[in-house]
Amino acid sequence: MLFGMYSLVSASFFVVVDAADVAMTEAAVGAGVSTILMLSTLAATGYTVRKRPPRRELLAIVVAIAVGGALLYGTLDMPRFGAPNAPLHQHPVAHHYIQVSPKETGIPNMVTPLLASYRGYDTFGEVLVVFTAGIGVLALIGRRPRENGELAPEDGFVDHTATRHRVLRVVAKTLIPPILLYAWYIQAHGDYGPGGGFQAGVVLAAGMMLYLLIFGVDRTEKLVRPRTLECLIALGVLVYGGVGLVNMAQGGNFLDYRTLVHDEKHAIHYGILAVELGVGITVAAVMTTILFTFAGHLRNLLGTAYMANLSRRSNQGAQSA
């Protein structure tokens, strides 16, 4: 819980120092996806942490304080907060990004062409990292096993969502379409305001997660098949790399968008849109897959007994819908 609050406070800090894109990403990722992952891990590994005397690691404290002191000494020479004459702002690259890139690419938001075009290789690497994380989670935990191609049977678990939890159901059904629309808005509007592929992917995953939390793993798997998601994970990376390969095929360098169409400015714009789409697809698919695997694992682990217990107790529990 504190974790989510901490992410939200850092996102607010980012807004205050005029870092709008970063604030949006941090809010979506930290306060949304990360918190849910932590909570499901804690649920799957047992709530009760035995009270043990906290261990005083003297060496760790000494090392931490020593490193902290060294860093503190190192920062005495650093430029003051917000100083306009810091070396970071004097470098010609910063001037190019701020002054020239809106004219050269025609995109007002300076972060988007920087992310997708000037530093496109870094973003490609990052999409690959996200892809690898998705594959890693799938390899470690895997999906729920299927018998004869069907989903594993749910013994003892009665899905109460259709009859109880009316408030939650209605609110979820009301909120999820605007969330998905907002994700698409962020994706498409990344040129003119804060936004872009990552934020859009994470917000879309958050919408799917809301559905997952309220309606359960089975109905969500009927809605979006995990096999489709796995294909989408790869599709995003393929789109990104594909744009680079098209550039090479047309005689330019890898990810040099100017060779896409004849007009250079438009070509860069199209290239950026295409790669942001690839990024958004991969990030959305990976986040959703990770949430699916965590939820499926939780369901498998808790097993029949817990579910039966829960059904019995919610049968005799509060009656209001």
Rank residues 123 and 220 by Cβ distance to another protein and give the closer one. Answer: 123
141 binds another protein (CB under 8 A): yes
User: By C-beta, is 155 or 251 nearer to another protein?
Assistant: 155
CB 141 → another protein: shortest distance, Å? 5
Alpha-carbon distance values, 240 to 71, 79, 247 (Å): 39, 38, 11
Asked if 275 contacts 116 with a C-beta cutoff of 8 angstroms, the reply is: yes
Q: What is the token pair recorded at 111? A: 């972060």
Nearest approach, Cβ of residue 241 and another protein (Å): 17
- Report if residue 224 touches another protein, rule: CB under 8 A: no
Helix (H) / strand (E) element for 139: namely: helix 120-140
> Could you tell me the smallest distance in angstroms from the CB atom of residue 271 to another protein?
16
Size of the site for another protein (CB under 8 A): 118
Q: Does the CA dihedral 273-275-279-285 come out positive or negative?
A: positive
**At closest approach, how far in Å is the CB of 24 from another protein?**
9
* Contact window for another protein (CB under 8 A) among 27-35, 221-229, 247-255, 256-264: 27-35
Q: Which residue has the tokens 């941090």?
A: 26
| Residues 309, 256 contacting (CB under 8 angstroms) | no
Interface region with another protein, contact rule CB under 8 A, candidates 219-227, 243-251, 270-278, 311-319: 311-319
Residue 21 contacts residue 186 (beta carbons within 8 Å): no
Q: Rounded distance, CA 238 to CA 254, Å?
A: 14
Q: What residues between 232 and 291 interact with another protein by CB under 8 A?
A: 283, 286, 290
Given a contact cutoff of 8 angstroms between Cβ atoms, the answer to whether 207 and 180 are in contact is yes
Contact range with another protein by CB under 8 A, out of 134-142, 227-235, 242-250, 260-268: 134-142
Please tell me whether residue 152 binds another protein under the rule CB under 8 A: yes
Binding residues for another protein restricted to 78-117, rule: CB under 8 A: 78-84, 86, 88-89, 93-94, 97-98, 102, 108-111, 114-115
Per rule CB under 8 A, is residue 1 in the interface with another protein? no
Please give the C-alpha separations between residue 251 and each of 104, 119, 123, 247, in angstroms, as whole numbers: 21, 20, 22, 7
Question: Out of 167, 181, 231, 248, which residue is the one contacting another protein (CB under 8 A)?
Answer: 167
Does the footprint of another protein cover residue 150 (CB under 8 A)?
A: no
**What is the token pair recorded at 100?**
């020239």
Q: How far is the CB of 250 from another protein (least distance, A)?
A: 26
Nearest residue (CB) to another protein, 163 versus 304: 304
Strand 146-147, strand 150-151: pairing? antiparallel
82 or 149: CB nearest another protein: 82
- Biggest CA–CA distance in the chain, Å, is 71
